[in-house]
Structure 1
Amino acid sequence: MTNGGSNYRIVSPSLTVKAMRDSGYKSTAYALAELIDNSIDAKATLVEVFACERPVQGSSRMSHRVETIAVLDNGTGMDGEALRRALKFGDGRGDDRQRIGRFGMGLPNSSMSQCTKLEVWSWTNGPGNAMYTYLDLAEINDGLDDVPPPKPEPLPEYWRDISEGLRDTGTLVVWSNLDRVNWHGAAATLRNTAELIGRVYRRYLTTDEVVIRMAPVRDGKVIEGAYYAKPNDPLYLTESSGTPAPFGDKPMFEPFNMGNEDESGVAHFPIIVEGKRHVITVRASIARPEARRPDIEGHPWPDNASPNQDAGNHPWGKHAGRNIGISLIRQGRELELDSSWAIGYDPVERWWGVEVEFPAALDEVFGVTNNKQSATTFTSLAHFKDKWRAEAETGESTKAFKDRLADLGDPRVELIDLALYLEIKLLPAIRRQLKQRSLGRTGKKRYDDVNTKATDAVKRRTEDGHTGKTDDLAEGATVEDKRHEQLDALTQRHHLDEDTAQSLIEEALEKDWRVRWISSYQDSHAFFSIDLMAGMLQVIFNEKHPLHAHLMTVLEEVPEDASTDELRHRLARAADTFKLLLFSWARMEDEIPGDRQREKIADARQDWGRYARDFIDGEDDGE
């Protein structure tokens, strides 16, 4: 207890602890992660998470509610001095950056964010020789300044009976008087914890460096349903994981080509901070075709998964929907899954994964918070390509802007190149490939209708004697010739993956389609181009042209939950874009310098109008 004369104390213990209780842990699972950090730092190979419930009589029925949460490990344990320091807010144990936790806040801060009483037993020579101490919010409010001195107290039999892995060394942390736990029953508490725990510690779980047991307890016994946390890899490259079938024992994604031949799906970014070189590692992945499509040979969906339902609505797709964003890895442990880099309304965002790993020496550069739940500087750089223009001075280049930020000591400057790489190069490339892989799936019935209608128009014109180069090339071409030519065009020129290309080709051959529409990045000012192949007229809309974003994206990439007002806005925007398109043609004709050349352009416009009438209305003009 503090002696008198404390009216002018700079910090009030009770108010400090109250502020720390409100320090912003996102959930009980994140608070528990702080305890698991300590266990791993203590070289534990088994960590047991217990949720102990008691019966509660409601107005109409008996239910159960969690009254105690505990974490028990078989790590090295602590002596009395280390134990007492561990319950001190901000002790820090020195600046040891080899540890997962280094701020000295994790144990007391996370614990008091969920409960009003924290108890700890730790032993280095058998659980019968444990040392015990505690923190009680009521005592702190009454003026307690010091952590109570640890005293010898054997580990209670209650915990010995339900543990699977007691050793001669270890630590038990118990939370009681829970007043901020998010869930009620033991099973629900652990279920809502396990997925995040599996993601945060996926590296450790995958290598079996640590095992995390999730155990619901009722009446002093572990009830049926205890299990071990499985890795939850947001890159979905792990062989064995908690991903629902059919991807629990095989990767659902594959590495995304980032130009590194030695390490597929990996790029390294060295940065110099205060004269020292550090390396940031970026990993990227993209969904395998079979994750999104049921028609990939050799990779069928489960029998109970409807092939007509979007993959995002199946269990594995919903699982991916909970793992959207860029995963930040610090010291082998996930710090945060930062969703601010994703396009929030787009369900396709679930089908990519990006991981940014950095050493603890870059904590200040990334803006790591003391509860290890976020990296504020990195998050602030999401969508930076738009933000910097708003902050830049008139006429200021990107380099000049960065130099000015460096002069001002802006903490973002070290990560700007990384942010621009992610936003301008990597993520757009991944999204383009995902769009290509979704060809033939999104709005499939609508595409079938337009392909059929256009094919009918082509056949009708051919029968009327209006042949084209695709008709001439088809003369004498075998089915294999057509298949090979189309596969080469789709994979080599337009960069579709082979499975998607093969699927498109087989569908076209089966239905005798003579046309195909795809989108692809083209190094051209034209907003579309054409491939003339044997029996196939392929139209390629140039995704690089702004018309794609202002017309095709507006009309075709409509969110499933779009409101009526948003739909009206999209239609109006598309109508305006179409008018601007025609105005651009009109101005082109207007600027033609010679009358004869202008007449040729006008004739082309007339011809296109006749063809458009034939394709849209199905009428030939009798030419």
Structure 2
Amino acid sequence: MNVIDLPPFAPTLIESTRAIGYSLESAVADVIDNSIAAEADSVKISFFPIGDEYISILDNGYGMSPDDLTKAMQYGSKSPLDGRDEKDLGRFGLGLKTASLSQCRELTVASMKDGQLSIRRWDIDYVKESGNWSLLCIDDEIEMQKIPTINELLEQGTGTLVVWKQLDRLKAGEIDFNKSMGRMFDNVRDHLELVFHRYLSGESGIKKLQISINDCELKPKDPFLVKKSNRPMDDETLIIHGEKIIIRPYILPHFSSLTPDEINELGGKDGLRKLQGFYVYRNKRLLVWGTWFRMQRKSELSKLARIQVDIPNTLDDLWTLDIKKSSAMPPAEVRTNLQNVIIKMAENSKRKYTVRGKKEVSDKTTHVWNRMKARGGGFYYEINRDYPAIAELVQINPAYKDMVNALLKQIEIGLPLNQLYVDLNNDAYLTNEKEMPDKEILNGLRAMIPKEGSYERKIGFLNQMAEIEPFSEHPELIEKIRKEIQK
């Protein structure tokens, strides 16, 4: 049997791998994974969009020797089947190269270890010209000084610097690259603050990481708002092939108890509804989020449910992790357990979301609106004609009964249900709990007390109002009115 050695044609393959599908933010995150593996506690990202544009990523990790750097620049430098250190966030041995060259045509990596500086470069145009896998070794002093932020690496004495130049993919179709680069890095900031939020916050068990963009430090963006969220059930630990998968559910607070900033932090531009579901972490780095893995559909009643899933890098193959580390799918033996968690979580989220609806149909409390079941299915809302203030108004002048009923019917028909639905789906800060000062509540109650009639009638009306929100929350105001009536 004859064997033919058939290596891939370098210019074609290196151009093809640029189309794997990295976004700018996912490409930057992939490079930072290497910094974490190198035990860095600082990553400085710089971008310069004018003239000789570049993006640089500098860490203070343990660096690489010349031989190690050469190997790191090789495509497929490590098999995905090889064992890895538990802190290693890589898998295919492709991330540094494919992520970087998806954004630029010239990738330079400089690294210092034990006081020795080594520099390697992939230049796609040079590879195209040579027709070979021609990795450039930069050892000329003048050429070294042309590398952006190289002096910061030299001052550190250890670490690795990644520089992207010839940013053809980022510049494509842009009229004002300076402005567009600023917008792009707003997305990068948001992405990194979420993906590495556990490292940025210095969670127990991992080394705290500081990341900055043009000297502006990033802040962790907690997708669970741990300080205010509920834990409806204890952690669940699954053992798969001898490895632990830890599941930790959260129920977010109801919208009415969140500030606009907190809602924005939890939902961002995608909205809370889209971001419900599982948040899968590999070595505490967020991989996939806002999905139920097709085990249930996203709905309004489950929009407050978020489930943290921690997996080790030893189970990458089972979770079919892709090259970009942005897609994963739980194996069959895990899906069954996740399905059970979903059922429990969905019920808890539903109770949190519909608690106000339950109050409105309670027999113990009188409300302005009644929730009614329609004959043909579905529900509608009508104003409660037995609401004390409405009943009192009709009793004062029975001749107004038909007019009052007609007016209330117009209000019911005019209820903007479609717009309310749109606002809720857009996660608008929609609430009927307007803060009213005590004086306004007091004056409103005084205005509704019957002006005529016996003491018993007035006290009876007051007792009814004392059971109705918002008056039920202010017993001291009820007591003040009671004393006024007794005088």
Aligned residue runs from structure 1 range 31-110, under 5 A: 31-54=27-50, 67-92=53-78, 94-98=82-86, 99-110=88-99
Report the Cα distance in structure 2 between the residues aligned to 1:161 and 1:36, rounded to whole angstroms.
18
Secondary structure, counterpart of 2:245 in structure 1: strand
- The correspondence for 1:167, drawn from 156, 164, 170, is 156
Kindly state the Cα deviation for residue 121 of structure 1 after the two structures are TM-superposed: 1.0
1:370 — aligned with what? 323
| Matching residue's letter, 1:167 | Q
Q: Are 2:337 and 1:337 equivalent residues in the alignment?
A: no
Cα distance per residue 1:440-496 (max 9 Å; x no partner):
89xx98669845424369969xx9xxxxxxxxxxxxxxxxxxxxxxxxxxxxxxxxx
| Matching residue's letter, 1:359 | P
Cα distance per residue 1:176-229 (max 9 Å; x no partner):
1112228843432321101111111111110171110101xxxxxxxxxx4111
| Matching residue's letter, 1:413 | A
Report the Cα distance in structure 2 between the residues aligned to 1:421 and 1:163, rounded to whole angstroms.
52
Distance 1:172 1:331, change over 3 A: same
Q: Are 2:131 and 1:132 equivalent residues in the alignment?
A: no
Kindly state the Cα deviation for residue 270 of structure 1 after the two structures are TM-superposed: 1.6
1:582 — aligned with what? none
Percent identity of paired positions between Structure 1 and Structure 2: 24
Report the Cα distance in structure 1 between the residues aligned to 2:154 and 2:210, rounded to whole angstroms.
11
Say if 2:199 and 2:208, in contact at 8 Å, map to a contact too: yes
Kindly state the Cα deviation for residue 77 of structure 1 after the two structures are TM-superposed: 1.0
Say if 1:45 and 1:211, in contact at 8 Å, map to a contact too: yes
Secondary structure, counterpart of 1:234 in structure 2: coil
Structure 2: 5+ residue stretches without partners: 361-366, 372-380, 396-431, 447-462, 468-487
Structure 1: 5+ residue stretches without partners: 1-6, 56-65, 216-225, 238-250, 261-266, 306-310, 379-411, 464-499, 513-533, 539-623
Say if 1:256 and 1:285, in contact at 8 Å, map to a contact too: yes
Kindly state the Cα deviation for residue 175 of structure 1 after the two structures are TM-superposed: 0.8
Distance 1:318 1:175, change over 3 A: closer
Secondary structure, counterpart of 1:453 in structure 2: coil
2:105 — aligned with what? 116
Report the Cα distance in structure 2 between the residues aligned to 1:13 and 1:438, rounded to whole angstroms.
64
Say if 2:103 and 2:170, in contact at 8 Å, map to a contact too: yes
> What is the TM-score normalised by the length of structure 2?
0.65
Say if 1:271 and 1:414, in contact at 8 Å, map to a contact too: no
Secondary structure, counterpart of 1:174 in structure 2: strand
Say if 2:61 and 2:159, in contact at 8 Å, map to a contact too: yes
Cα distance per residue 1:331-374 (max 9 Å; x no partner):
11111224355988756765443211111111122111122111
Distance 1:180 1:149, change over 3 A: closer
Say if 1:37 and 1:101, in contact at 8 Å, map to a contact too: yes
1:24 — aligned with what? 21
Distance 1:143 1:429, change over 3 A: farther
Report the Cα distance in structure 2 between the residues aligned to 1:160 and 1:15, rounded to whole angstroms.
31
| Matching residue's letter, 2:11 | S
Worse-matched range after superposition: 82-91 or 345-354: 345-354
Say if 1:48 and 1:72, in contact at 8 Å, map to a contact too: yes
| Higher relative contact order structure (alpha carbons within 8 Å, sequence separation ≥ 6) | 2
Report the Cα distance in structure 2 between the residues aligned to 1:164 and 1:134, rounded to whole angstroms.
16
Report the Cα distance in structure 2 between the residues aligned to 1:437 and 1:284, rounded to whole angstroms.
23
Cα distance per residue 1:110-141 (max 9 Å; x no partner):
01111111111111144xx4211111112222
- The correspondence for 2:231, drawn from 249, 256, 262, is 256
Secondary structure, counterpart of 1:420 in structure 2: helix
Report the Cα distance in structure 2 between the residues aligned to 1:97 and 1:164, rounded to whole angstroms.
26
Distance 1:445 1:77, change over 3 A: farther
Secondary structure, counterpart of 2:239 in structure 1: strand
Aligned residue runs from structure 1 range 538-549, under 5 A: none
Say if 1:123 and 1:169, in contact at 8 Å, map to a contact too: yes
Report the Cα distance in structure 2 between the residues aligned to 1:32 and 1:132, rounded to whole angstroms.
20
Report the Cα distance in structure 1 between the residues aligned to 2:341 and 2:151, rounded to whole angstroms.
47
Say if 2:56 and 2:148, in contact at 8 Å, map to a contact too: no
Secondary structure, counterpart of 2:91 in structure 1: coil
Say if 2:106 and 2:165, in contact at 8 Å, map to a contact too: yes
Q: Are 2:209 and 1:214 equivalent residues in the alignment?
A: no
Aligned residue runs from structure 1 range 422-437, under 5 A: 422-436=341-355
- The correspondence for 1:283, drawn from 248, 251, 255, is 248
